[in-house]
Amino acid sequence: MSEPTTGGEVFDTPLARAAEVAVAVKSRRFGDDLPIPPRTRVLTVANQKGGVGKTTSTVNLAAALALQGLSVLVVDLDPQGNASTALSVDHHSEVPSVYDVLIDGRPLAEVVAPVPDHEGLWCAPATLDLAGAEIELVSSVAREHKLRRAVSTYLDVHQRVHGRRLDYVLIDCPPSLGLLTLNALVCADEVLIPIQCEYYALEGLGQLLRTVGLVTEELNPGLHVSTILLTMYDARTRLAAQVAEEVREHFGERVLRTAIPRSVRVSEAPSYGQTVMTYDPGSSGALSYLEAARELARQVLPAGGREDAAPAAPSEG
């Protein structure tokens, strides 16, 4: 249970590890020893509480996976467009965005943009229009299934165009449980819940878990909460340790061993249009997201899976 986090065996000391990671990231020579999932993993990053680290975790986990050789799509489903900003993907009002996909049935392929400076990473941006989608969707047919259909179609297109399957799709949700988040939950196989290690951390989680339960019963039987990520962990406070313990008691093995520390570098990165992975690759925040991504990639998946996901390319078996 308390064995050290994975990957540590490669590096002897924290400093050596930080330096080695920084050099590898800067020179784009990162190890690609992470397992390729047997099928595209679609994860919804959700927590209806704002400011718990959904967006930060989405973009940094995505970047960390991509740096380690996997191909990853981030779907920005928050009208704020913070994930798009952090990934330096245009999202002013003229840009085709997730809004057009959900409301006008525009193919996701016309919306997805490559993330600058990150090989293997793409982003479907969100514009402010998306705020209206929450209401516009109410009267539309199969309103909860829009995103799932768009992503399913896109998985095939992506594989054809890029000659390689997407390994991960990470969906960044708004801080609510409305139709946008519902679309994300219907689209995904897994829910990743970031939890900020603060007072009231678990409050409101019941509502999210009930919603996931309802979606599983009614709309998407394959959905499950696979991953909990502790964020903004302040190792100096007893409170953070208490919250972490409580979360681990409740969710057990689903809680990643790596907690993301509170770090100024993490919060600075988006204002430079960067993830912390490129902004300061040797920082504690970057290293933690790297470790968390490795844990995520090494999770044991339940058998079965979405029928609409492309199988792994034969050469990768």
Give residues in contact with Mg ion (CB under 5 A): 54-55, 82
Q: Could you give the CA distance from residue 258 to residue 293 in angstroms, rounded to a whole number? A: 9
Judged by CB under 6 A, does residue 48 bind ligand ADP? no
Choice between 49 and 54, CB closer to Mg ion: 54
Q: Could you give the CA distance from residue 278 to residue 266 in angstroms, rounded to a whole number? A: 11
Helix, strand, coil shares of the chain, percent, nearest 5, are 45, 15, 40
> Residue 175 class from Cβ within 10 Å (0-12 exposed, 13-18 middle, 19+ buried)?
middle
Choice between 186 and 229, CB closer to ligand ADP: 229
Choice between 124 and 309, CB closer to ligand ADP: 124
Q: Could you give the CA distance from residue 138 to residue 121 in angstroms, rounded to a whole number? A: 32
Torsion of CA 164, 167, 316, 293, to 10 degrees: 140
Q: Which does 285 bind (CB under 5 to 8 A by kind): Mg ion, ligand ADP, none?
A: ligand ADP
Tell me which of 263, 274, 275, 283 binds ligand ADP, using CB under 6 A. 263
Stretch that binds ligand ADP, among 98-106, 185-193, 258-266, 305-313 (CB under 6 A): 258-266
CA distances (Å), 266 to each of 216, 261, 296, 297, in order? 34, 9, 19, 21
Q: Considering the complex, what minimum distance in angstroms separates the CB of residue 241 from Mg ion?
A: 26
Residue with tokens 């590890």: 17
Q: Which does 266 bind (CB under 5 to 8 A by kind): ligand ADP, Mg ion, none?
A: ligand ADP
Stretch that binds ligand ADP, among 9-17, 44-52, 137-145, 200-208 (CB under 6 A): 44-52
Site for ligand ADP in 76-105 (CB under 6 A): 82
Query: Contact positions toward ligand ADP, by CB under 6 A?
Result: 50-56, 82, 175, 231-232, 260, 262-263, 266-267, 285
